[in-house]
Structure 1
Amino acid sequence: MYQEISEEDENLSQLNQQQKEKLAEKTKSEVTKNYQENLLDQRLTYLQEEYHITFEKAQQDYEPMTKDEETRGKIQRLRQKIEQLGPVNLNAIEQYEEVSQRYEFLNKQREDLLTAKNQLFTTMDEMDEEVKTRFKDIFEKIREQFKVVFPNMFGGGRAELFLTDPNDLLNTGIEIEAQPPGKKLQNLGLLSGGERALTAIALLFSIIQVRPIPFCILDEVEAALDEANILRFANYLQTFNNDTQFIVVTHRKGTMEACNVLYGITMEESGVSKIVSVRLEDVAENGQIAVEGKGKA
């Protein structure tokens, strides 16, 4: 009986010992597990903070490295490359997007401006061609009319208009050669003062004949003319009565005689001026002015 109890007690001791060993192994396993879990968490955190990548992404994009030395060497090389890159701007992607959008906007504006520039140059070329066509047409008409008006104003002779540069109608000048009666053909600058004045008047009348205007002011344009040319000038003014009204500032009697209405300035009182108008049709043969034709402005 005693022997059986001793055997049972020994078996119980063995079981207790085995239980202690199992408990120790379990505790060791739990400690190891906790350590591994903590180590895994640390490495996952390190992976995220150092390389900005998740474990799942790393598994997907990169192959596992089995040799620690190889891994450490590669990591060292990569770190050296990162250091060589210098400071990294973490906002570079957002800034790139902003700059890219700005570039696209400015590039679109540049293309629009280039298109507008080309259209503007095309329009300018078209306008230049239109100006050339119109200028040439009007110039030829004035040129032909000048050939008619000049001898009428001078009582003979001839004159010619010509372009200094027919190949560049936008920048060409215009020269006048005139031949008053009894003289040779010569440049306008070689004529006398009266001849130059009458030639210029003839050109003005030629222009008005081609392009009539409703109103024209002449300020002593005939001052340098002799009496014979004054009469031709005054008579030629009458040919425009139906289309153009002239206001002529003059001191020449011949010009005044050809006008319809005369306006004069008088000072009956010191410092007080009055404008007096007279219609020539109201002037009698004896020089008296009809009362109804006399007025003040």
Structure 2
Amino acid sequence: REGILAQAEAHERWRLLSQAREAWAASQEEVRRIQARMEELKAKLAATQPLLAKAQELEERLKAVRAERTNLEDQQTQALTRANALLSERENLRLLLARREALLEELGRERASFPPLNRLPGTPRALQARLAQVERERAALGPVNALAERELRELEARLEVQEKEVREAREALLRLEAEAKAVEKAYGERLKENYQVFQSAFQKYALALLGARAEVKREGQGLKLVVIPAGKRTQDLRLLSVGEKTLGALAFLFSLGELQGGLPLAVLDEVDAALDEANLVRFTRFLNSGKQFILVTHQKRTMEACHALYGVTAQGGVSRVFSIRKEASHDPK
């Protein structure tokens, strides 16, 4: 009889050991399934990053276009300054050439007026005075520049080249301005669309999490978030309680997720630690809004709202993982 009891006890131990092994294998399979699901969700989340990269690329392109436009404007200013200087120099040379030609004509007329005789009329003293006057006038004229006409042609050619460069720079500037306006328009439309989406999402999540009226205002280069919980008049986020600040931060984060189509999965680490009873009720109600959550929590009410629980405990210095899954109840009727 003792042998039969020992055999039955051994058989029972073997059966319990087999059940424990099967439970362990099932839990390992569940862990692998959850890890595969998490990898899939990470891949989907990474796929939403190109939108932000595209917005940053547009902003960098806008900055580059503006910098290039500023550079072209500086080049245009320098070219216009140089062109004005060349025009002024050309006018001065033309004026000097006209004066020299007038002087030559006057000297030619004066020479033609001389008598054909070798002996000039007048006293020697008068002739000397006239000669001294002519020499003074010639000295006042300065040296004759025989290359003035050639220099004028060279300056006109340089002026033509400078004017062509100015026209090309002006055309390039107009093209860049048109492209910059197109980029600014696209960026503004995208920013306006995202602002409207974010404002609507923030109002929805603030109402769901806090039961509060919310508003997003644009101030300068940033945003101002206004949250008015039910029964309060305060609008400053610094005057809210710690729990209200926590729920407001969650509303802000979920609203940012809406800019990329919504968060398929949210991982929250003890966000309900500072919530009072009323806010905890709103939070647990929000957990059933259709999104998927992975929570780290010590709140019993939060645990009650979850569909599956995973816990870690230590027994005899060994960590053990256990899970509890809530089964959906069905009305037999």
TM-score normalised per structure 2? 0.41
Q: Whose Rg is larger?
A: 1
Structure with higher RCO (Cα < 8 A, 6+ apart): 2
Q: Which has the higher helix share?
A: 2
What is the TM-score when the length of structure 1 is the normalising length? 0.45
